[in-house]
Chain A
Amino acid sequence: MLEEFFSPQALAVIGASRHEQKLGFTVLNNIIQGQFRGKVYPINPSATEILGLRCYPNVQSVPKSVDLVVIVVPRDVVIEAVRDCTAAKVKGAIIITAGFRETGPEGAEKEREVVRIARAGGMRVLGPNCLGVIDTNSHLNATFAAVPPLRGSISLMSQSGALCTSILDWALRESVGFSRFVSVGNKADIDEVDLLEALAGDQRTRVVVGYLEGISRGQRFMEVAGELSKKKPIVLMKSGTTAAGQRAVSSHTGTLAGSDAAYDAAFKQAGVIRAPSLESLFDFAVAFARQPVPTGRRLAIVTNAGGPGIMAADACERQDVSLASFTAETIERLRAGLPAAAGVYDPVDVLGDARSDRYRLAMEAILADPNADAVLVLLTPQAMTDIEETARVVVEAAAQGRKSIAASFMGGDEVAPGIKVMHSGRVPNYPFPERAVNALATMMDHREWQQTPPEQLVRFEVDGARVREVLDGALKDGRRALADEEARGIIAAYGLRIPRSLLATSAGEAVAMAEEIGYPTVMKIASPDILHKTDLGGVRVGQRTAEEVRLAYNLLLENANHYAPGSRIWGVTVQEMVPKGRETILGVSHDPQFGHLMMFGLGGIYVEVLRDVVFRVAPIAPSNARAMVRGIRSHALLSGVRGEKPADQDAIVESLLRLSQLVTDFPEIAELDVNPLVVFETGQGATAIDCRILLKPADGS
């Protein structure tokens, strides 16, 4: 996919220049200096030769066919250049020129025009307003970046062009190499989903990393990433996670960032590894690029100091990584070869006076042990430590390829020669043990994801026609907020259990209905305009006599007249009172990028105060629903504490799946809240007491 952008046969630079301070010179010079193997044609109507290459007035006059162009001309002549390209049947254009959408309506219109012309001519466009493309395999450096990167197996896309230049500079110092390197710019045509496919499709790429500010096609992104992440790790850093960050993203990119919870959920569901910072993005990328993925979660630690070993052990527990239980044979080997004071269980402490031979002995024993899946080598520079030689031992061990190995040679100048050895020996080194453990744990998580077989969505038998009828009624009425009884009718049609309820339009009717349902009852004002009934005195609980029903009826209507004048009142709902159980909240909201976002939490303070909620993007599979129920911090309350019997968690899972099916079948549902879903003991099911549904405006997006 998009091969023309990475390994073109012939390339033209529109706006190539002889003046060294111009971008058009830098880009052409970078292409030549990078020893690009294909043909290169500078395009400039007022020059005959630039940097020793023959110059052409336009792409159409180039004698050979050109598959990729880089456009660096001023904004106002970009459209003309694009026309020239499509006329010459060019397949791809990198538009480095800025001044489009990011500058206002006029620039935006020009950008749309560029895309219209390109699409009509069958040409793909990267940018505008981007840094360009680097492919180290085809020796293509079509950017204005000062320093080309080393070759490697990491491929990177970035929504920030400026950040790219910093990363390239940093990567050189850290000996981090790249296979493909792309800056996405304004995403007028090619976006992160296209690039994800292009980068993951590159055979030399072992890990795809990206810096993103927003994703345009959320659902498609999940599909593509979900498939590709089964083959190659995808590590993304998504900025704009806070309110302030979201605002900055909005003014920078002109897209609404969407909720961080949605990104988090979408990444989890698509197997995308989310890096919390640029630092961890490269910590993870380097591990994936240089080491095999561990086959299990058991980590052996070798250290010459107790403290770092303990820190590493702590980090392991936090990341759900277990320390290895060595075989008797390994322990015997360690005991025989190491001093008596050494630690022979995990972490293995080879002591402060250890030289490389002790590391070698420990490493060999561990590599042979079937109970360890990965090794972390820790080193502090002490008087006797031979740093470089120890590094060589680590590199040799890694070269065997039997287990994944990471190192943390802690320090600065003293350990630097050792780190250099490990860089060239493809062993990832981290300045501190926690970062090494995080990287290894991320690899372990990724392996588990890759080994989980894809899951089918389940479908329940439901009454879709009934839902259609209710929704049509409301839309015809011009209402977007469904009334309580309509909403409950809808979820009942999708198989959720609801309490028996009847709508009374007079005090007499209310009494008759209460007698029919049986006391005690709950009474609520029935109005499509009063959404937060409790706040407005719209709910009365526990009527036991006809007299109490009358009293409640009068109170409810008087309150409605008083606190919500002008609202539509349909009457009063008389409802069966549901016995006590554990109160949970199930919700669906609408995210601008990913669509329906499912939410689960325990009712009351757990959701409102502690924000103890879990999200997933709909549609969800059974494993997603189970992960949601288990994912809340207060999950123990559902399993039963202080002698309580466990709650019927299967009923919650099923309710979540049915709601997911509902909103997938009826995308016009913008929001849905079941609050509370009262969950009874295992086997007794759950009942949805109240439901709120909001529809999307007919003319809205």
Chain B
Amino acid sequence: MATLFVNSVESYAGKTAICIGLAAMLAKAGLSVGYMKPIGSGTVTVGNVLADDDAIFAKRMLDLDDPTEDICPIVLTQEMREKALQEGLDKSEALVAAHQRASKKHDVLVMEGIGNLATGYIIGLPPARIAKLTDAVVITVTRYKRELSAEDILFAKDIFCERLGGVIINHCPESERTLKRNRLAGHFLPREGVRLLGILPVDPLLNAITVGELTSLLGGRVLCRPEKEGELVETFSIGAMTADSALRYFLRSPNKAVITGGDRSEIQLAALQTSTKAIILTGNLYPAAIVLARADELGVPVILVPWDTRTTVEKVEQALGRIRLSTPRQVERVKDLIEQEVNLAALRGILKV
């Protein structure tokens, strides 16, 4: 079995999405593909067991029947960290065992790294060691930062040496995806001998959060159009200005959620006149009936939240930097993008499958 280890120098580079996409592409090519996140964070429970939500999501999206404890063999808990600090800890056995079980079932195992390249040391499993123990080919994902991305790629090369099979550049603006404009792809990567497997574009859909997630994140109450909870919000605007400037400002952001007070009818109407997926009313202030009627008519959910505007914005901002794939629509988009943009032949070449 070939093992593909996908990781990134910085967190939130899009690893989960790319793992799902790569696994789906390889499976489509007729291979039996497994998925594993060797180290996960215990943010959800399955039965009575702590599990990693990315891993659970990937398992579901890839329709895998492997047991959860094989999909995510090591869940990094607080207890584990305490123990590690007191007496030292090496979890490599758990990893190797799970990897062996997977190797009997699949032709390829796609393995997702946790966080950034500094994660895993505490339990004796730094990324380079994981790669070595599983004899993996490494792909590093970098979120495009123009010339500055070169540093990330060189850092990954330094850590993984000859195991580094290639790089996927994620979140690259359309205008810079062509080789002519992209200096990383044009001269730098060939000279450094790092294979470019693909450049993925910025895709608003993948950076979106559903109205439902937003509602539960904010502990809000939906006043109209509850059936629109699956709609995707791409950006947020705060409505605290005059109606004229609100309109100009709102025009700039498509598929947005507008955060404003319940008493700001003119802001709510300005939001309804532009591309808006949800209106979030802060401070539990109920809107004017006639405005609510208008939102209902236009099919825009209105969400009442108990927080003041500042707190609401803080909560939303926190969530924004760490948007995860959450809808089948997004997963389909990821699969399409990977299929279009990632060189399958090159990938099979480096995996030797």
Q: Which residues of A contact B (CB under 8 A)?
A: 101-105, 107-109, 112, 243, 246-247, 249-257, 259, 477-478, 480-481, 505, 528, 561, 565-566, 568-570, 589-590, 592, 670-671, 694, 696-701
Contact (Cβ within 8 A) A105 B288: no
Q: Cβ of B263: which chain A residues have Cβ within 8 Å of it?
A: 247, 251
Q: A697-B274, A700-B251 are in contact. List 12 more A-B contacts (CB 8 A).
A: A108-B294, A112-B297, A250-B266, A252-B288, A254-B265, A480-B251, A481-B252, A568-B173, A696-B251, A697-B275, A699-B255, A699-B275
Shortest C-beta distance, A7 to chain B (Å), equals 33
| Bound Cα distance A8, B67 (Å) | 79
Known contacts A257-B243, A478-B204, A104 near B252 by CB under 8 Å: no
Known contacts A568-B173, A699-B275, A671 near B248 by CB under 8 Å: yes
Q: Cβ of B273: which chain A residues have Cβ within 8 Å of it?
A: 256, 592, 700-701
Shortest C-beta distance, B85 to chain A (Å), equals 35
Contact (Cβ within 8 A) A256 B247: yes
| Bound Cα distance A9, B280 (Å) | 52
Q: Cβ of A246: which chain B residues have Cβ within 8 Å of it?
A: 242-243, 266
Say yes or no for B270: interface residue by CB 8 A criterion: yes
| Bound Cα distance A112, B224 (Å) | 17
Say yes or no for B66: interface residue by CB 8 A criterion: no
| Bound Cα distance A93, B292 (Å) | 27
Mind listing 9 A-B residue pairs with CB under 8 Å?
A105-B292, A105-B296, A108-B290, A243-B243, A246-B242, A480-B254, A570-B181, A700-B251, A700-B273
| Bound Cα distance A698, B274 (Å) | 10
Q: Cβ of B204: which chain A residues have Cβ within 8 Å of it?
A: 478
Known contacts A250-B266, A700-B274, A480 near B292 by CB under 8 Å: no
Say yes or no for B264: interface residue by CB 8 A criterion: yes
- Interface residues in B73-128 by Cβ distance below 8 A to A read none
Contact (Cβ within 8 A) A565 B145: yes
Q: Cβ of A701: which chain B residues have Cβ within 8 Å of it?
A: 273-274
Interface size on B, residues (CB 8 A): 40
Say yes or no for B269: interface residue by CB 8 A criterion: yes
Q: Bits for B223-255, please: 1 = Cβ < 8 Å to A, else 0.
A: 010000000000000000011100110011111
Contact (Cβ within 8 A) A505 B181: yes
Contact (Cβ within 8 A) A671 B251: yes
Contact (Cβ within 8 A) A251 B293: no
Contact (Cβ within 8 A) B289 A590: no
Contact (Cβ within 8 A) B296 A108: yes
Known contacts A112-B297, A256-B270, A256-B273, A247 near B265 by CB under 8 Å: yes
Q: Cβ of A105: which chain B residues have Cβ within 8 Å of it?
A: 224, 292-293, 296-297
Contact (Cβ within 8 A) A570 B175: yes
- Interface residues in B289-304 by Cβ distance below 8 A to A read 289-294, 296-297
Shortest C-beta distance, B240 to chain A (Å), equals 12
| Bound Cα distance A648, B263 (Å) | 48
Q: Which of A250, A589, A592 has the most CB of B within 10 A?
A: A250
| Bound Cα distance A697, B248 (Å) | 12
Say yes or no for B146: interface residue by CB 8 A criterion: yes
Say yes or no for B317: interface residue by CB 8 A criterion: no
Say yes or no for B49: interface residue by CB 8 A criterion: no
Q: Which one of B148, B181, B251, B289 lies within 8 Å of A102 (CB-CB)? A: B289
Contact (Cβ within 8 A) A251 B288: yes
Known contacts A104-B289, A568-B173, A694-B252, A700 near B275 by CB under 8 Å: yes
Q: Cβ of B292: which chain A residues have Cβ within 8 Å of it?
A: 104-105
| Bound Cα distance A697, B204 (Å) | 13
Contact (Cβ within 8 A) A568 B175: yes
Shortest C-beta distance, A279 to chain B (Å), equals 26
Q: Cβ of B202: which chain A residues have Cβ within 8 Å of it?
A: 478
Contact (Cβ within 8 A) A700 B254: yes
Q: Cβ of B268: which chain A residues have Cβ within 8 Å of it?
A: 250
Q: Which one of A107, A694, A698 lies within 8 Å of B251 (CB-CB)? A: A694
Q: Cβ of A566: which chain B residues have Cβ within 8 Å of it?
A: 145
User: In the complex, what residue of chain A is closest to B250 when comparing beta carbons?
Assistant: A700
- Interface residues in B137-184 by Cβ distance below 8 A to A read 145-146, 148, 173-176, 181
| Bound Cα distance A109, B291 (Å) | 13
Known contacts A505-B181, A701-B274, A589 near B248 by CB under 8 Å: yes
Contact (Cβ within 8 A) B290 A101: yes
Contact (Cβ within 8 A) B176 A568: yes
Contact (Cβ within 8 A) A257 B297: no
User: In the complex, what residue of chain A is closest to B251 when comparing beta carbons?
Assistant: A670
| Bound Cα distance A696, B252 (Å) | 8
Q: Cβ of A251: which chain B residues have Cβ within 8 Å of it?
A: 263, 265, 288, 290-291
Q: Cβ of A700: which chain B residues have Cβ within 8 Å of it?
A: 251, 254, 273-275
Contact (Cβ within 8 A) B176 A250: no
Shortest C-beta distance, A502 to chain B (Å), equals 16
| Bound Cα distance A246, B265 (Å) | 9
Contact (Cβ within 8 A) A254 B291: yes
| Bound Cα distance A478, B203 (Å) | 9
Q: Cβ of A568: which chain B residues have Cβ within 8 Å of it?
A: 173, 175-176
Shortest C-beta distance, B211 to chain A (Å), equals 16
Shortest C-beta distance, A245 to chain B (Å), equals 10
Shortest C-beta distance, A682 to chain B (Å), equals 34
| Bound Cα distance A700, B254 (Å) | 7
